Structure 1
Amino acid sequence: MSIDLRVLREADFDSWYALLDRAFGGVPEPAEERALWKGLIEYERSLAAWDEKEIVGSAGAFSFRMTVPGGARVPTAGVTMVSVAATHRRRGVLRSMMRRQLDDIRALGEPLAALVASEPDIYGRFGYGSAGRALAAEIDTARVRLRMPPGADEPRLSFADPRTSLTRCEDLYSRLVGGRPGLLSRAPGWEELGLLDPESERGGASPLQCVLAEREGELAGYARYSVKPEWDAAGPKGVVRLRSLEALDPAAHAALWRFLFDLDLTSTLSVHSRPLDDPLTHLVSDPRRCGLRTRDVLYLRIVDLPAALAARTYQVPLDTVLEVEDAFCPWNTGRWRLRGDSGGAVCERTEDEPRLALTARELGAAYLGEGPLTALAAAGLVRELVPGSLAPVSLAFGSQTAPWLPHGF
């Protein structure tokens, strides 16, 4: 079979997107959601795999800048909309698209590629490592109390229309981007993702609502949420569904959570995605009644190894040699001397003897600071070639702030 890979033309978008709809269950997306993605898509970075006159594969990428440890915002390809027609599985279509895409990403000078995997098993063979998890919760707000920090009564809370408050909320988010690995600098248009609220997908919940926390007229935080009313013989037991919550300081952060806990006629707060180190876990009186759980979200691929390792900082000084294997992007294979500290880093090829050996997949998993190299070594995926080398390098790769990707793409 001859598969022809071509850059997507706007005229072929509907056929290309119909393939995605079918691959993800066959239920068409709401018109407003489809229109949003059509406006955000970068056609020059989107691929269509053709079998004669039929599109049988899709893959795209968005141009992002992702925060890495140390605060730098590194050019990152946001891999998206990947699918292969069920009629064309096991014929090399996905591999050919991944090959073309990573070559293109390298040519564009982007050191990193990131994705949110619908099926994690797919992407490991292309060098993507699990680099960031998210915290979810189902909190029994009728029985869980909050321990409030000093100043939590100071912010003034008020309802706001999600649309008219969008610019202020997006400005606040942009102030936070440099402080957490994994956050994305959002280009114009991406703020609309936070307002996407098709009625057909509410599942009986209210339209999207927004509350602001202000201090002397300045925005200190916001929360977007919806409420699903529910009743039984004992009375109301509604569910608050949190969409997003951002705050500049502990007082505003706690005040917004208290607001969500105290909403009338509700007894459950459903939280879909928060950072693993969210302060909420230290404010609740009973973590066991919060239904806390984690899930893998962010997968990262090192595309340009020396550029990627030099772009971030390191918790403690290190000077080490890594032996890296990268079967899918062979330009990363070899020995690399990495020297760095909290002020910066340099990574260069070397002939010196290696101290650690690992693959690009494990390097991607550890890059943002969540997956310690020591844990990967305990799983047999990182090898310590020189005794005593592992622990200090693992510490250096860590991050005081957990990586987090707050939304998909």
Structure 2
Amino acid sequence: MSENQKADPAAPAPGWSVRHSDANEFPRAARVFGQALLFSDDVDTMLGLMRPLHDALGHERLLVAVDDGEGEEEVIGTANHFPFEMTMPGGPVPVAGVTGVGVWPTHRRRGVLSSLMRRQLADIHADGVRYAALWASEGSIYERFGYGSACTELSTSVNRPHATLRADAPRDPALRVVLREPERVRADLERVHAAVAATQVGQFRRTGPWWDRSLRDDAAQRGGRGPLVAAVVGGQDGPVGYALYRTRNRWADDGAQGEAHVQEITATTPAAWTALFEHLFSRDLVARTVFDSLPADCPLHHLLTDRGRAVAQHHPSLWVRLVDMVGALSERPYAAPFEAVLEVTDRYAPWNAGRWRLKAGAEGARVEPADGAPDLSLDVHHLGAAHLGQAPLTGYLHAGLITEHTPGTVDALDTALHRFDAPFCGVVF
């Protein structure tokens, strides 16, 4: 029900309700989601892509809004979330990965999405999960539900004439790169990713169904390119990095113009990054290497001889929601001591709203109700945006979107929340 309908007892009932769903109803929910996001595939094709992962992870978190106004119940809205173990600033913790959110086009602007989001947040909170995260199809939607844009990732490309690494790039002659079908080296991929995800903020631990999805290699994933291959770099102690990529064969009047499209690349040592980049840049007939998604602090631009030739395009990725704000702020380490009273608004999770004294340090924080005057007034989505340590609150202050009552509070809080390593997820869920 919309806010206006809840506030006015005389308002007519909306004719729809929100409830939990199940595997049998999943095709109807997927139909709504596909229509809302303008998917070009038919429902059967879309189900073939979506259903294996959802079946493996369970359907008990699936929510639907149903309209029975004409006698036959119709699904008009949907929202779901995956149970993740995602690395946050305090370490790996449970996170609700929100997905499958959509409203049937004829039922927009009626409060359907608001009711789904409110119910979902209540469910997540009841499960004791302190965070939710999502990738937003439209950035204008989710701030009002308390999500903040917390992470920026990069995409870039490098043309062959400029794909040269610095002479002093770290190289280890003991490392060897092998090129294999991904399933043959899946154990190596899983080992490297687990090591990286344990410490890189924003990564989640990939279970078997997620690896199945990442390594899926049918025509839809290829998009006219070749089969997925895995370049794995390792030495005596095992694998230390990998790149998953596809190639495209192109020709022009002046010769080969092939492309390598890198779906994913990661490593645990500097020399492994060098080995992977030099493998990609040395492929015969490849004139251009495209990187779909890189962390903001990826070594690539530092290792290139002419870093300006690989123009980075920044794009928002993870949006973070502090479902249990007190718990989230309490378990996070801080880069500098901080103490202030925060006045927080939260329309969809009222248990977070109020005045709170935050006293923080390197080992965590104490967050307690406060009666005194606030030093800073802001919404929970501002705290979600800043929580991963990449997005400062200063921009919101300069834009007039948060209110600093005590000068210097925002600078001090930004300093305390900051992390030098960039968050990264890399997988759209």
Q: Please classify the TM superposition score into its range, dividing by the shorter chain length.
A: over 0.9
1:48: which partner in 2? 64
- Whole-Å separation in 2 of the counterparts to 1:31 and 1:356: 47
Q: Say whether 1:37 aligns with 2:53.
A: yes
Q: Find the counterpart in structure 1 of residue 368 from structure 2.
A: 348
Aligned with 1:134 (options 138, 148, 153): 153
Amino acid at match of 1:48: V
Distance 1:152 1:39, change over 3 A: farther
Aligned twin of 1:20: 33
Tell me how far 1:26 sits from its aligned partner: 4.1
Of residues 377, 387, 403, the one that matches 2:397 is 377
Q: Distance in 2 between matches of 1:183 and 1:209?
A: 22
Q: SS of the counterpart of 1:221?
A: strand
Matching residue of 1:389:
409
5+ residue gaps, structure 1: none
Please say if residues 33 and 196 of structure 1, whose CA atoms lie closer than 8 Å, have aligned partners that are also in contact.
no
Q: Confirm or deny: 8 A CA contact 2:170 2:274 kept in the other structure.
A: no
Residue 81 in structure 1 maps to residue 100 in structure 2: yes
Matches within 5 A, 1:134-173: 134-147=153-166, 148-173=168-193
Give SS of 1:197's match: coil
Counterpart for residue 259 of structure 2: 239
1:224 equivalent to 2:237? Answer no
**TM-score with structure 1 length normalisation?**
0.95
Give the secondary-structure state (helix, strand or coil) at the position aligned to 1:165: helix
Partners of 2:243 and 2:276 within 8 A in 1:
yes
- Give distance in 2, aligned partners of 1:74 and 1:349: 25
3-state DSSP of counterpart to 2:275: helix
Residue in structure 2 matched with residue 357 of structure 1 by the alignment: 377
- The residue identity in structure 2 corresponding to 1:17 is A
Q: Number of paired residues? A: 408
Residue of 196, 203, 206 corresponding to 1:176: 196
**Counterpart AA for 1:235:** G
1:297 counterpart residue number: 317
**C-alpha deviation, 1:343, in angstroms:** 1.9
Alpha-carbon distance change, 84 to 337 in structure 1, aligned in 2, over 3 angstroms: same
Does 1:278 pair with 2:298?
A: yes
Off by >6 Å, runs of 4+ in structure 1: none
Q: Name the residue aligned to 2:119.
A: 100
- 8 Å Cα contact 1:374-1:391 kept in structure 2: yes
Cα distance in 1, alignment partners of residues 56 and 396 from structure 2: 36
Aligned to 2:6: none
Q: Percent identity?
A: 36
Distance 1:275 1:188 in 2: 24
Relative to structure 1, is the Cα distance of residues 237 and 30 closer, same or farther in structure 2, using a 3 angstrom cutoff? farther
Query: Over aligned residue pairs, what C-alpha RMSD do you find?
Result: 1.7
Note if contact 1:33-1:198 (Cα within 8 Å) is conserved in structure 2.
no
Matched residue type, 2:112:
V
CA distance in 2 between partners of 1:201 and 1:212 (Å): 21
Distance, in Å, in 1 between the alignment partners of 2:46 and 2:393 is: 42
Q: Is the 8 A contact 2:53 2:209 kept in 1?
A: no
Partner of 1:10: 23
Q: 1:141: Cα distance to partner?
A: 2.6
Q: Which stretch of the first structure deviates more once superposed, 232-241 or 51-60?
A: 51-60
* Matched AA of 2:216: L
8 A contact 1:224–1:243 mirrored in 2:
yes
Provide the secondary structure at the position in 1 that maps to 2:60: helix
Counterparts of 1:181 and 1:201 in 2: how far apart (Å)? 27
Distance, in Å, in 2 between the alignment partners of 1:36 and 1:294 is: 31
The alpha-carbon deviation at position 246 of structure 1 amounts to 1.6
CA contact (8 A) 2:165 2:278 kept: yes
Unaligned runs of 5+ in 2: 1-13
Separation in structure 2 between the aligned mates of residue 102 and residue 38 of structure 1, nearest angstrom: 20
Structure-1 separation of matches of 2:426 and 2:216: 15
Alpha-carbon distance, 1:304 to partner: 0.8
Is contact 1:40–1:190 with CA below 8 Å preserved after alignment?
A: no
